[in-house]
């Protein structure tokens, strides 16, 4: 049944209007059996959180492609906690910072902000889908 599928919220955060990858991820996660609540581009933190509350989503997948990831993504975990979604899975990927930076450092920075997974540019959807399956099954949820 449509409504028993695991729900995930997907969107491109901040003043970022890169729509192509968003459509690919929407397709890939739907094909993998999730119900994707796709918020599209130009999504604020508040909208991610509100969508997850109403739909009872198990994960929020945030993309940031335009290099302002650090400013836009900071504080999302706090907001989730504030809204009673405390331990919801937060995944993040894209071109998170401008220029050539060591990805291990970038990853650490965002993991410290409370994201459960942080992906480098060029990661394929399958890797993320596998991670999500694992993380959900650890919580007793089948995707």
Tell me which residues touch another protein (CB under 8 A): 2-4, 7, 15-18, 35, 37, 39, 41-42, 50-51, 53-57, 66-67
102 is catalytic: no
Please, which residue, 28 or 67, has the CB nearer to another protein? 67
Exactly one of 18, 68, 131, 135 is catalytic; which is it? 18
Nearest distance from residue 9's CB to another protein, in Å? 8
**Contacts of residue 1, Cβ cutoff 8 Å, sequence gap at least 6:** none
| CB nearer to another protein: pick between 15 and 111 | 15
Task: Kindly state the smallest distance separating residue 50's Cβ from another protein, in Å.
Answer: 5
Nearer to another protein, 25 or 39 (CB): 39
**16 a catalytic residue:** yes
**Residues with catalytic function:** 16, 18
């Amino acid at each position: 049944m449509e409504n028993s599928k695991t729900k995930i919220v997907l969107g491109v955060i901040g003043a970022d209007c890169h729509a192509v990858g968003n459509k690919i991820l929407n397709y890939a996660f739907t094909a993998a059996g999730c119900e994707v609540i796709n918020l599209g581009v130009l999504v604020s933190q508040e909208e991610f959180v509100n969508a997850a509350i109403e739909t009872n989503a198990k994960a929020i997948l945030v993309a940031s492609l335009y290099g302002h990831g650090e400013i836009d993504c900071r504080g999302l975990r706090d907001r989730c906690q504030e809204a009673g979604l405390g331990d919801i899975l937060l995944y993040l990927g894209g071109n998170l910072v401008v220029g050539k930076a060591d990805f291990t450092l970038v990853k650490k920075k965002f993991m410290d902000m409370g994201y459960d997974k942080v992906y480098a540019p060029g990661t394929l959807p399958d890797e993320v889908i596998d991670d999500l399956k694992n993380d959900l099954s650890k919580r007793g949820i089948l995707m």
